[in-house]
A and B are shown apart, each in its own frame.
Chain A
Amino acid sequence: MNMFRRLKVTMGAALAVGLASTLAVHADEQFFPLQSYRVGPYAAGGTGFFGGFIDYLNLINIRDGGVNGVKVTWDEGETQYEVERGVEVYERLKSRPGTAAWNPLSVGIAYAMIDRITKDRVPLITINHGRTDSTDGRVFPYVFPLLLNPYSETSGMVNYLASREGGRDKLKGKKIVVLYHGSPYGKETIPIYKLLADKYGFSLEQIEVPHPGNEQQSQWLSIRRAKPDYVVLRGWGVMNPVALKTAQKVGFPADHIIGNVWSNSEEDVIPAGDAAKGYIAITTQASGAEYPVLQQVIKAVYGANKGNLDDKKRIGSVYHNLGIVNGILNVEAIRTAQAKFGKRTLTGDEVRWGFEHLQLDPARVEALGAKGLFHSINVTWDNHEGDGRVTFQQWDGSKWKVVSDWIAPDWAFLRPIIEKSSTAYAKEHGIKIRASGEDPVSQ
């Protein structure tokens, strides 16, 4: 079963790592501390994301011998998605030499780390999630909500609905219900949906589902009575399949339900069975294994029995591909920083510089074998999100299929709102707002 195959694989990998580490004691290394979660309620997402991240790092070591010869290494600490365990892992691993960046994939843990990593001067990457106002690199020099923050996600969703209706002016008079998880995460976008409703003239109703969301009869009955054109699902964990199942129960069509980034994985739809057929969700990275980079992972990493996923069927799944894209962005940031600072082990601050100059245009993305997997990124010292584009996928009962172009959120509209929040934070915490991309401490 599971365990025994895993045993064989990891033994092989351990041997290889052991050998490599004895041979390469003095070589330059760049270290990734991983606060993974492979147990508990969110284990399915954790194994996919960290599996993809590790697979890509393995690919870099096997295929290229590291980033310009600098090996990438990592160590995992289990958090079970709990904040204090994440902090414990942080305190335990933070003094490792050559730490490149932290990638917790947990909003709670990321929040608890902001003060700590700023003091210790190491980047914190919260791809696709995290604190919206950390997009403002002037106030949060070490925090990077790469590709997408919750506000851009909201704008991207509305833009998609507009394109489906045939233009933004067509949204006027439409009715949208947002079904959100009863947690700070779920509530975060309430004001943005309101703003966009005012701006485009659609009517809006936002309904809360209490955590964990395994009962939604009353919410969906209210939705049935409201007769909306679309339901936006801002769900989490078990809330997603239950929403789809309950929608079916009240006869609401699945293809008019649009899920956000935490409602867009296979794990969210498979438990719902047939009820999920036709359901659409936002993503920053398309799923599927047909992209060259995924093929290389399959050949070089899984071929050498070093793959991190137990179940090869999960290669190319939403979380696995998010892990791969996260790997690409981290590795390219290191590469970018190496071009300036030299091909050696970099400090956290140097890696931060790399992230602040992480510019991958579609041509570069294609050269990396990721054309179609994600669109592009353009991080600058003051824009730590990097203008990621989103696309939409539809579940056909067995896999996700892309059903839209790459859509750009309305960044210009959101930026002032973000800056208002980040400057308030700066004031509250006595942070000096950076005026340029120079070293945040020397200013």
Chain B
Amino acid sequence: MFDYQFLIEVLIGGLLSGVMYSLVAIGFVLIYKTSGVLNFAQGAMLLFAALTFVSLVERGTPFVAALAATLAIMIALGIAVERTVLRPLVNQPPITLFMATLGLSYVIEGAAQLLWGTQVHGLDIGISDTPFEVAGVLISRLDLFAAAVAGGLVALFALFFRYTRTGLSFRAVADDQFAALAVGLRLPRVWGAVWAVAGIVALVGGLLWGARLGVQFSLSLVVLKALPVLVLGGFDSIAGAIVGGLLVGAIEKLAEVYVGPFFGGGIEVWAAYVVALGFLLIRPSGLFGQKLVERV
């Protein structure tokens, strides 16, 4: 007798984990969309944000003040990165830019630990993670909260992109850099803004992941969870990051529970990549990614 309730439980758990992946992936998408950079330092930024926040709180700063201070620091960091790293590298091939962000992640990780130490911290964001039960299926409060935050973030972005001037220039730059330049948009300013926004996304992701894992060095490893999401959803689509995240989360968990036992388990690490790969062979730019047209 097949246990459908268990299947549903696994599926829901997977989808909720997927939301967490999406949160990280959105940070990548924002930057890739506007400047064509695959920002590997996103994980380091996440770590930096969470570590800064938790260290401030532990030193007695009130929750809200710490949040505001960290937010300010992350925005400053984003802008500083754009100024010092990205701007001098404009027009370099993508692989060079990618390597620069790897170098950047060393700097940020080193600085985070130099400033705040290498200790591990617990992070309590005020939501107790006791589960509640719906028709025999346990659902995590923290995961639901994270999903709500992710949903809110995406809604906010949608409004921002549609109705604000900066948001519109984001989209213009993402559509066609040269055209945007031609109509007088100042690209560096848009890039600075987008890095600042990525800093904010890193803070949100850092706090939610920090509440799940604790705040410690391995927080920066969550980027690895975001990469198959990007492949599946497309590097340049926020909707893709969300759908891709949900898909990856669900696929991972279902594969681990139902396929894993045939291989002795632990297939989660690559199952998502393999599915993403198979999918890519059908659609080489992901679900929502822009199709490249090449001409001779």
Contact = CB atoms under 8 A, between A and B. Distances in A.
B169 interface: no
A428 to B, nearest CB: 26
B266 interface: yes
Given A41-B218, A43-B113, A43-B118, A214 B213 contact: yes
Contacts of A242: 212-213
Interface in A216-244: 217-219, 221-222, 224-225, 237-238, 241-242
Given A267-B120, A274-B128, A222 B257 contact: yes
Interface stretch (A95-103, A109-117, A204-212): A204-212
Contacts, number: 126
A38 B216 CA distance: 14
Given A217-B17, A271-B122, A41 B217 contact: yes
A190 to B, nearest CB: 10
Contact of B138 (A209, A251, A273): A251
Given A43-B113, A217-B13, A273 B124 contact: yes
B152 interface: no
Given A217-B14, A217-B17, A270-B120, A182 B257 contact: no
A225 B6 contact: yes
B138 A218 contact: no
B238 interface: no
A210 B266 contact: yes
Contacts of A210: 266-269
B130 interface: yes
Interface residues of A, number: 44
A293 interface: no
Given A212-B221, A215-B268, A47 B118 contact: yes
B151 interface: no
A65 interface: no
B94 interface: no
Contacts of A251: 131, 138
A194 B122 CA distance: 35
Interface residues of B, number: 50
A209 B264 CA distance: 11
Contacts of A22: none
Nearest to B128: A274
Contacts of B253: 217-218, 221
Given A217-B17, A225-B6, A271-B120, A1 B218 contact: no
A221 B13 contact: yes
A249 B138 contact: yes
Nearest to B269: A210
A274 B122 CA distance: 9
Given A221-B9, A238-B216, A214 B119 contact: no
- In terms of DSSP, what is the predominant structure of the interface of chain B? helix
B215 interface: yes
B113 A212 contact: no
A146 interface: no
Given A39-B118, A249-B138, A250-B131, A218 B252 contact: yes
Interface in B118-151: 118-124, 128-131, 138, 140, 142-143
B245 interface: no
A211 B269 contact: yes
A310 B213 contact: no
B89 interface: no
A65 B214 CA distance: 43
A272 interface: yes
B221 to A, nearest CB: 5
A182 B16 CA distance: 23
Contact of B140 (A207, A249, A274): A249
11 contacts: A39-B110, A41-B218, A43-B118, A208-B265, A209-B266, A214-B222, A218-B252, A218-B268, A219-B256, A241-B122, A245-B212
Interface of A: 1-3, 38-41, 43-44, 47, 182, 207-212, 214-215, 217-219, 221-222, 224-225, 237-238, 241-242, 245, 248-251, 267, 270-275, 310-311
In the A-B complex, the 7 residue pairs with the closest CB atoms: A271-B214, A43-B118, A208-B266, A208-B265, A238-B218, A218-B256, A217-B13
Given A38-B118, A43-B217, A218-B14, 13 more contacts: A41-B218, A44-B119, A182-B265, A182-B266, A208-B266, A212-B218, A214-B212, A217-B253, A218-B256, A225-B6, A245-B129, A267-B119, A271-B213
